[in-house]
Structure formats: structure tokens, C-alpha cells
Structure 1
Amino acid sequence: MNSHPISDLQHNAAGQVCYKLLNVEPVKSMLSGGPDRNFIQSSSHVLLLSKTSYGRLVINGQYYPLRQGGVYVCPPGQLIEAETGNEPGHMLLHFEGFYMPAPMEEQEVVLHTEEVWRFPFAGEAVIHPASAVIHLFDLLHAGWSQGKQSSRLRCEAGLLELLSLVLGYQEQQMELALETAKMELERNYKEDITIDQLAGIAGLSRFHFMRLFKERYGKGIMEYRTELRLMEAKRMMTSPSAPSLAVIAEAIGYKNETYFRNLFKKQTGIPPAAYQKNQKCKIAAYSWMNIGQLLPLQMIPFAAPVDHYWTDYYRNRYSYEIKLLLSHQYEFNREILRKAEPDYIIGVDHFIPAEEQQKLKDIAPTLLLPWKGEWREHLSLTAAFIGKEEEGGRWLERYEQKAAIIRKQLGPATRRDTVAVFIVSKGQLYVWGRKAGTVLYNDLQLGMPPAVADIDWLEPIDAQHLDRYDADRVLVHVEGDPLSQAYWSHLSRQRDWKRLAAACGPKLQVFSGNDLFKAPWNEYSAHYCERFLDEAPGLFRIAGAALPFHSE
């Protein structure tokens, strides 16, 4: 019985289970040399505690040397044999877990069997320091034998403490296993290393490894391998003596140069040749949204703020190129920009005081975009400033063509509908304004509820005023925090909500976890609008268009 997690699903539920200590008993020596052997086969979970290092233990045929402060977790049904001599240094704790029913449900609390609930760890847990286990051993040994309610309650607390130590050990082992597999991938990302190989290194099942890796590092395993490969490709492409793309592709693990070119463009938005050329120009994007005004021009800034609180999109994709991290402190930014000597600085006038604007102009040629302007104007001004007018014009032409295609996909019935976008965040309901919904209302030419026209970005609303924003179609983005989820669950059952024309049915779309809906005012740019346009068909369940939204 090796130490291992029992179930992928049970691990996260372990902290939501109620535990009951059923019995505490000393271990009597059961191993013998004769043909008759004595076993313990419990119908409940068992913790075996060892206060001394004397003796030996066999669980399901696997031998364990006993250690001082040892904790051994046995699921129901396992065979336990132990040799302990005459020392009272070993103890069995029989326990079980159950899920507490909802308060309104009139039903008995039933202890679940192993088919329903199992503790998410089995085997030996090495707890440091061992004295923590020995202290709990003494507490449980003394308290259970007294038989008093108060002492039994202390024993229950002792059980919870032991189980928390076991889960803490499991978490440490899981972290170590993930780091070991990640390091192996970082050493061998150029090779055809598989998920199964990495899962084997971590000692986990394929599914469990993939899920834990994504939870821990925020990206999938193959996604991370691609990131490592492209990072090395970028280093080679920008080196003084850059080899050919064919050589680079083969060096990072791709045998097909065309595949590498297409992958590179898909991940960065820029073809490799343009990337190599444009990286020689040093542009500082002073504000968050300025990054998205440069990307359509096939330019990635070398300096920018990447502390976007609502998304990891820019950090994940452009961390290699953005080597100079700007802050929101003017003096700090001026100092590092002065040393870096950028070719251009691009900012937004609304976010930079007039005095600071002049100081930036003293460092390098500076463009300050008008906050009240539209995103197309921002793109055109940026393109003219850095000498990329042709690129800007071609990008806008392609964008308009794409918008026309999607309008056609939507069909006349959808285009005649009005659309309202609601956001549930931190227990508050908001409605999107005309500028936040510019792709929907301007580029896709969908109908706008009259009250939305008076709002630029976002406005909090009360449920009793929902009828002002009634529409044929409704999009609702619910943040993943418990407060927002609970608020939406409550709101969707209220009469004020049910009075909306699209309160339920196919014209209501509810989703979570899409960063495009979290802070559009901070990303108001050509690149943001194209990302939104690409995902628009999924908002309306257009046939053949994959739904782009995933729950958090």
C-alpha cells in the first residue's frame, strides 16, 4: 500500500466533510510464525499511530518498518497485521466521514460507505516533527479511555488535527511531484516527451496529473511545452547571429518549418520574419491598453505594465519581449525609461498628468492618445506615429471584412434583436454601456437598448430597474467568487429578473471565466476588439462556432 491519493474528486472535498471518531484501541501483537495469523479488517477508515520505532507492520501484504511518530492511513477493507511486542506504543483510530445535508433538508445524517466517500490519502504519512504525532497519541490514549463527553470531544479534535497533518503531507508531496515533473519538462522540452511519461515521474495518473498541473501553474502541460519551445525560438531569432527558421524549428523540436511558422504566428499574432524585424524597435507602452494598440501593427513593446489584475493574457504571451516592467509610479517609470532609451513612448492623456507628459517627451518622442477617442482613431494615430500606416490600414480592412462575415453568420433574425450585457461581480449587478459593447453594437450592428446609449462603460443597477435594459437577447457574465455566484443564483429566481423577455430560454447566455468581460475600459484597443469579435459567434451559439467560454 504505497502512499497515494485515492480519488481526483475527493481531494478538494476533504475539507468539506464532517469526520467522526468511532473507536480508539491499542494495537496488540498479531504477527506470528505459525499458520494461524490474526488480522484486522476494518469496515471503516483506520489511522494507525506509532509512538515508538519498535515493531513491524504489514498492510495488504506490504511491509512497513514502524517509526517513531509514524502515521499510516488505511481505507476500509484493508488487512492490517502488526508486531508490537509488549510496548503500548501503537494505536488504531477508527473513523469515518460524511457530508452534512443542506439545512433545509429533512433527512438523517448518514455515514457514507467507501463507495460514496473515501479519505483522499492512503499509506504512510511522514509528519515532521514526530513530536506532534506523539503529543496527539498521548491525548487520544488518555482521553478515549476516560469515557467522558469532554474528553471524547477533545479526541475528536485530535483526530481532525491528525487528518490535517496527513493532508498537509500529501500537499507537500504533490507539490514536490509536480515540481519534479515540471523540471523534467524544462530539461527535455525539445524532445517528444509525453504526458504519460511526466505523469509517471510525478507518480500520478494521467488525468490527475494534467488537472493538478493546470491548477498549479495556470496552463496545460503541452501548452507549457509550447511556451518553452517558443521562448527558445525567440531567443535564437533575436540573437546577433540568428540561424534560419528551418534550423530554429528543428532545434526546438519541430521537424516541419511550415508548422513552426504557423504556430509562431498563432501564439504571438506576428509572423516570424516580421517579429525579427520589428523587435529592433524599442517602444514603451505606458498604459495597459497601449499594448493592444501596438499588436495589430505587429509590434510588441519592450517596456509596458503587465500587472493586469483581471487577466494573465499579456503576461503569458509577451513576458519574453516585455523586459522592462513599468509601474504606476511616475518617478520610477521615468528613471528606468531614461536608462533604457526607448525609440518611442505611447500613453493615454487621461492617465498621465500634464507635467508628467512633458517629462516623458524629454526622454523620447511621445504620443499621448485621447482617452475620449474611439479605438480606430487610437490605432490610426499609433500607426502614423511609428511609421506603420500601411500596416494599420491593412489591419483595419481585414477587421471590417471579418466583422461583415460574422454579421452574415448571425443572420437577419439575430441582427434585428436588441442585446443587453449584464455583469455580476462581487455581489453587485452591472450593465454594460455602449463603449464597453462597441463590438456588439457598432461592428456587429446589433440592437442597443435605449438606456444603454447613455452609459459609456459600466453602471451598477438594482434588480427593480432591470426593465429599463430589457432586450431580446441577454448575456450575463458571472464572476467566479462565491459572493457573485450566490447573488446570481438568488437574482435569477426573482420576479424582477423573470419579467425580462430573455430571462430564460435560448436567448439567455450565462457564463463565467472570460477575461474579455472583466475590464474592457482597461483594454480598449484594436487587439481587444478583434479578440472579442473572434469569440462573438459563440455568444449566440452560431452553428459551427465553438463556444469560447469555460467555467472557472
Structure 2
Amino acid sequence: MSGMEMEALHSNEEEGQLTLEGVRSYMVSHYDRPLTIDQLSRLAGLSPNYFGEAFRKAFGQNVMEYLTAIRMGHAKQLIRDTNLYVREVASRVGYSDEYYFSRKFKKEVGVSPSVYSKQAWRRVAVWTTSSLGNLLALGKLPVAAPIDPKWTPYYYGLYREDIQVHLDCAENVKEADNLALIQHAKADVLITDKALSSQGSELVAASGVKLLNVSRTDWRSQLREMARVLGRRQEGERWIADYESRLAEVKETITAEAGSERFVTLRLFDEQLFLYSNPGIRDVLYTDLALGGVPEQREVVNMPMTIEQLCELNPERLMLIICPNAETRMYWLKLQHESRWRSLKAVQNGQVYILPSNPWFEYSAIAVRRMLEEAHVMLTGNNPSPLPVLVHGAAKLVTL
């Protein structure tokens, strides 16, 4: 972008003229009016050609493409959330001719307004891995989701060819970049259990995508809430019933194997031990399986612990999550040769288990089922479960 274009984008409004950002905001607020490039360029005090080029470079779309996207976003909302006739929707988003609007809508959205009104909840995108795990448990594929060979290897291995748009999973990814991908996927609904920024929520609304925030409660409640909104209550209840049935079987065999033995779950980070329990560990190990842990692990906890304190507990079984950074790995190598560590019952009996971050850091219907199966294998060595088919959804997955 040239210096003059940067000045047009960011300079203060003078003599009644708007910056490019000001014109963009004007379009967002006045999309229902018959706007033209000539009108908008006059607001910026620029020639139509220069204004059009500067706008495209600043916002990645030409002026009329941007205006059309705003109008179609609001049209999708009106069709999805109201009982307005097509001509009323067209009028409210800036089109005087309902037939031209219908043709434009079909070109941009892929289906006619009448068809969209019947399918408005079918193209679902998810914002987080947990939301992906819950949606797949309901037997439905998203059109966009955060999948990556490094960050979500389980989902990437199974669904990389089926999910159309892959959101960036990196921690430093820009929110706007993933939202642009969701818009490109033509999603109708975006499901998340992590709040978007206020600007992100505005972008979602402007693109006509319904934002569904699933409250961060227990996974069963999350699954039921999602199932209710998507009309998949039967699938949700079936998944929960299957989990409860399998839980009863696994609990019986683990109880026979471990009895009243004490379990402790630790997290190693740098040169520090932590008594650790996240929502999945809490639910699967210390609530559902009712393993004999310490009281603190029946809640979410990440509490520093010394080797002396661990020796006082002296558990029969240890489960470890080892952070992958170099300092932690070096500490883990040294710890295994430490006399106090080697004196622990769990170490002497060969009952130390390493928990991988996948699935033990995820909290969803699929993740907790995978944790249940992994716990069963670790603690008994038996695996009669029909993994992986049941875990990633026995119901037929549906996508459009």
C-alpha cells in the first residue's frame, strides 16, 4: 500500500471527508441504501478510480464486492431468523428488485433464498477443537474446523479430506484470518466455547453467520446444548448412553485390577512438579471411574508439588503429563535417576503412565471417550472396545 493510500486509510477526517475506514463503516451502517462507487468516493474526497483501487488494497475486496457481502450477510440473518417474504428481505438489504436480489443471493450463497430458508442450519463451522469433538459426536461434519497435523493429529488423520476448510490452530493466529476462512466456507452457524473479541463477533454478524456460544460447563451439558440447537437430540442422548454403558464396563475391570490403590496425576513443566487435573482428567479418572486420588484432583487443579510432598503421598500409580520443551525433558531424564523418585511405590512397581496431550488436554464428548479407552488399556492391558469406529461417531456423518 502506498503512502497516499495509507494516509487515505488512517488520516483524520477533514472538511467533511471520510477516511477509507470511515467509508467502510458508513457502508456497514447504510448497506440498505442504493449506494454507488461515485457516492462513496465523494465521501472520501477521491476520484472513483483512485478510491476503488485504494479500497481494494486496504480491505482485500473491491467496493461493490464488499457491499454485496454485507447485504448478503444481513439477508441470511433475516431469512434464517424471521418469516419475512423474499421481497421484504430484498428491500431491507438495499435491493428494489426481488428477482435481481434472488439471483444475486443464489450466486453468492449457492442456493436460492427459498432453499436457504430450509437449510439455514446445515453448514456448521466450529471455532475450537472441543467444539469439533462435540459436533462429530453428534454425527455431523463441519464445513470449517481447526485441524492440523501438529496440533490436532487425531482429527487431521481422520477428517482432513472431509472437512472443506482448515482453520489455523497456531496459538498466535490472527482471529480475523480464521474468520475470513469461515466466511469463505459459507458457513451458516459458528459454534464456539471460547468467546470471540467484540470486533470478531461484529465480523461474524456482518457476514450473516449465526454465532452460537456453548457455555463452558461439563461435556454432557455442552453436547446436549449443541444437539438441541442443531436438532440432533437423539444423537446426543445416544452418545451419552453409549458412554455410560462403556463406563460401567471399564470401571468394573479397573476396580478389579487396581482396587483401592492411590492414583496421582502430575504435570511436569521446566524443573517443577505440579499436582494436576484438568476438566477431562477430573471427569474421567476421578469422577466417572472414581479412582483413589487425592481430594484436590476431584476439581481442576495445577498446584506446585515438591518431591518430598509426592513421597509423603507415595501413590501406587502415577500418571504424568510431560511438557515437550527442552528444559522439561531434561528434568524428566534427571528425575528418573533421583533416589526419592525411584523409591516411590508406583515407580518400583512399574506403574508410571505417560499421558499424551492428545486427547488429555481436550475436553469434548469424543475426547473423554478416548480418555476412558486409554485409561482402560493403561491400567488393565485389555482393549475389547471397537475403537476407533465408535469413538469418532458410529452415526453417519452428514455435510453439505
Which letter maps to 2:368?
A: C
2:183 to 334, 338, 347: 338
The structure-2 alpha-carbon separation of the partners of 1:458 and 1:307, relative to structure 1 and needing over 3 Å to count, comes to farther
Q: Is the 8 A contact 2:125 2:142 kept in 1?
A: yes
In terms of mean alpha carbon deviation, does 477-486 or 307-316 score higher? Answer: 477-486
**1:478 Cα deviation (Å)?**
4.3
Residue aligning to 2:379: 540
State the secondary structure of the residue aligned to 2:347: coil
The structure-2 alpha-carbon separation of the partners of 1:416 and 1:357, relative to structure 1 and needing over 3 Å to count, comes to farther
The answer to whether 1:524 aligns with 2:369 is no
Q: Is the 8 A contact 1:424 1:430 kept in 2?
A: yes
The answer to whether 1:417 aligns with 2:256 is no
- Aligned pairs for 1:142-153 (under 5 A) are none
The structure-2 alpha-carbon separation of the partners of 1:428 and 1:418, relative to structure 1 and needing over 3 Å to count, comes to same
2:334 to 490, 495, 507: 490
1:369 to 214, 217, 226: 214
**1:510 Cα deviation (Å)?**
3.5
2:317 to 470, 473, 486: 473
Count of aligned pairs between the two proteins: 261
CA distance in 1, matches of 2:209, 2:324: 42
State the secondary structure of the residue aligned to 1:295: helix
Q: Is the 8 A contact 1:301 1:322 kept in 2?
A: yes
1:26-61 C-alpha deviation (Å, 9 max, x unpaired):
xxxxxxxxxxxxxxxxxxxxxxxxxxxxxxxxxxxx
Q: Is the 8 A contact 2:145 2:163 kept in 1?
A: yes
Q: Is the 8 A contact 1:409 1:542 kept in 2?
A: no
Q: Is the 8 A contact 1:432 1:459 kept in 2?
A: yes
The structure-2 alpha-carbon separation of the partners of 1:417 and 1:435, relative to structure 1 and needing over 3 Å to count, comes to farther
Q: Is the 8 A contact 2:143 2:164 kept in 1?
A: yes
**1:308 Cα deviation (Å)?**
7.0
CA distance in 2, matches of 1:486, 1:545: 37
Residue aligning to 1:356: 200
1:300 to 141, 144, 165: 141
CA distance in 2, matches of 1:443, 1:294: 22
- Aligned pairs for 1:116-127 (under 5 A) are none
Residue aligning to 1:399: 243
1:320 to 161, 167, 170: 161
- Aligned pairs for 1:128-277 (under 5 A) are none
Q: Is the 8 A contact 2:144 2:185 kept in 1?
A: no
Residue aligning to 1:289: 130
**1:541 Cα deviation (Å)?**
2.8
- Aligned pairs for 1:68-147 (under 5 A) are none
CA distance in 2, matches of 1:321, 1:544: 28
CA distance in 2, matches of 1:470, 1:354: 48
| Identity among equivalent pairs (%) | 23
CA distance in 1, matches of 2:322, 2:242: 32
1:349-399 C-alpha deviation (Å, 9 max, x unpaired):
4x423453354244222211123x111111111111111011000110011
Q: Is the 8 A contact 1:478 1:484 kept in 2?
A: yes
1:387 to 231, 234, 244: 231
**1:479 Cα deviation (Å)?**
5.8
1:78-100 C-alpha deviation (Å, 9 max, x unpaired):
xxxxxxxxxxxxxxxxxxxxxxx
- Does 1 or 2 have the higher relative contact order (CA < 8 Å, sep 6+)? 2
**1:526 Cα deviation (Å)?**
0.4
**1:503 Cα deviation (Å)?**
3.4
Q: Relative to total residues, which structure has the larger helix share, 1 or 2?
A: 2
Q: Is the 8 A contact 1:310 1:515 kept in 2?
A: no
Residue aligning to 1:273: none
**1:418 Cα deviation (Å)?**
2.9
Q: Is the 8 A contact 1:432 1:457 kept in 2?
A: yes
State the secondary structure of the residue aligned to 2:337: coil
1:469-488 C-alpha deviation (Å, 9 max, x unpaired):
54332123446766444422
Which letter maps to 1:524?
A: Y
**1:460 Cα deviation (Å)?**
4.5
CA distance in 2, matches of 1:352, 1:443: 32
Q: Is the 8 A contact 1:434 1:441 kept in 2?
A: no
Residue aligning to 2:285: 440
CA distance in 2, matches of 1:329, 1:337: 13
Which letter maps to 1:431?
A: L
Q: TM-score, normalised by structure 2?
A: 0.57
CA distance in 1, matches of 2:245, 2:301: 26
2:307 to 435, 455, 463: 463
CA distance in 2, matches of 1:330, 1:485: 32
State the secondary structure of the residue aligned to 1:411: helix
**1:309 Cα deviation (Å)?**
4.6
The structure-2 alpha-carbon separation of the partners of 1:342 and 1:468, relative to structure 1 and needing over 3 Å to count, comes to farther
The structure-2 alpha-carbon separation of the partners of 1:535 and 1:365, relative to structure 1 and needing over 3 Å to count, comes to same
Unaligned runs of 5+ in 2: 1-118, 388-400
In terms of mean alpha carbon deviation, does 387-396 or 537-546 score higher? Answer: 537-546
CA distance in 2, matches of 1:465, 1:361: 52
Which letter maps to 1:320?
A: E
Root mean square deviation, CA, Å: 3.1
State the secondary structure of the residue aligned to 1:448: coil
In terms of mean alpha carbon deviation, does 441-450 or 286-295 score higher? Answer: 441-450
Q: Relative to total residues, which structure has the larger strand share, 1 or 2?
A: 1
Q: Is the 8 A contact 1:470 1:500 kept in 2?
A: yes
The structure-2 alpha-carbon separation of the partners of 1:347 and 1:468, relative to structure 1 and needing over 3 Å to count, comes to farther
Which letter maps to 2:370?
A: R
